[in-house]
Amino acid sequence: MKTVLPAPDISRAIVRIAHEILERYDGADSITLLGIPTRGAHLAARIATAINAIEGGQVAVGTLDTTMHRDDLRTRSPKALLPTLIPAAGVEGRHVVLVDDVLFSGRTIRAALDALGEIGRPTSVSLAVLVDRGHRELPIKADFVGKNIPTSRSEIIKVNLVEVDGVDEVTIAEGGVK
């Protein structure tokens, strides 16, 4: 197992993503950050903190659980649901930024887009991820990327965050066949 992104790099990536988001949308007023639980939600909260530190004010932030919209539900045992918390302003007419830890097949993001479509019609949707490891199975790409990490399919990328795992780091390990 090898650390590919130590704690200081994660912090820098989050601050850079916050700046990029602000630059694209001309300030924080029209942005709604939606993190995909579990780790995406914590990353969204950190990006929100970084945006608030830059802009002052409070950017809208929430969570979006994709479990009920996944296309692989039938292939595994049912998972417990995670919280969906949409900010009071909703998503209608907002620039929604989905936030996740790792972008891999793209299927989670497809499920998130479906879930988002049930809630309302945002003006635009973009995607921020801490790690893009490639191997997309759907035509989905990230707009804001912490780090591109080329991997083989069998390798396992693990994002650890203080809030969940007690430590900030991204590791890569040789794994079995996925």
Partner 1 sequence: MKHLLSINDLSRDEAILILDTAAELARISDGPMKKLPTLRGRTIVNLFAEDSTRTRISFEAAAKRLSADVINFSAKGSSLSKGESLKDTAQTLQAMGADAVVIRHPASGAPFRLADNQWMSGAVINAGDGTHEHPSQALLDAYTIRKHLGLGAKDLAGLRVAIVGDILHSRVARSNVLLLTKLGAQVTLVAPPTLLPFGVDSWPVTVSYNLDSVIPQVDAIMMLRIQQERMQEIFFPSAREYSRYFGLNRDRVNALNPKALVMHPGPMNRGLEITADAADSARSVIVEQVSNGVSVRMAILYLLLGGAPIEGGIN
| Contact set with partner 1 (CB under 8 A) | 65, 68-69, 73-84, 86, 90, 114-115, 118-120
User: Measured from the CB atom, is 50 or 111 closer to partner 1?
Assistant: 111
User: Are the beta carbons of 5 and 13 closer than 8 angstroms?
Assistant: yes
CA gap 106, 101 in Å, rounded = 12
CA gap 108, 139 in Å, rounded = 12
User: Measured from the CB atom, is 80 or 177 closer to partner 1?
Assistant: 80
Q: Which of the 8 DSSP states describes residue 85? A: B
- Which residues, 6 or more positions from 82, have their beta carbon under 8 angstroms from its beta carbon? 37, 38, 41, 63, 65, 67
Please report how close the Cβ of residue 124 comes to partner 1 at its closest, in angstroms: 18
User: Are the beta carbons of 169 and 11 closer than 8 angstroms?
Assistant: no
CA gap 114, 110 in Å, rounded = 6
User: Measured from the CB atom, is 2 or 75 closer to partner 1?
Assistant: 75
Please report how close the Cβ of residue 104 comes to partner 1 at its closest, in angstroms: 21
User: Measured from the CB atom, is 75 or 177 closer to partner 1?
Assistant: 75
Please report how close the Cβ of residue 99 comes to partner 1 at its closest, in angstroms: 19
User: Measured from the CB atom, is 90 or 106 closer to partner 1?
Assistant: 90
Please report how close the Cβ of residue 86 comes to partner 1 at its closest, in angstroms: 6
Residue 28 has, within 13 A of its CA and on its CB side, a CA count of 19
Please report how close the Cβ of residue 117 comes to partner 1 at its closest, in angstroms: 10
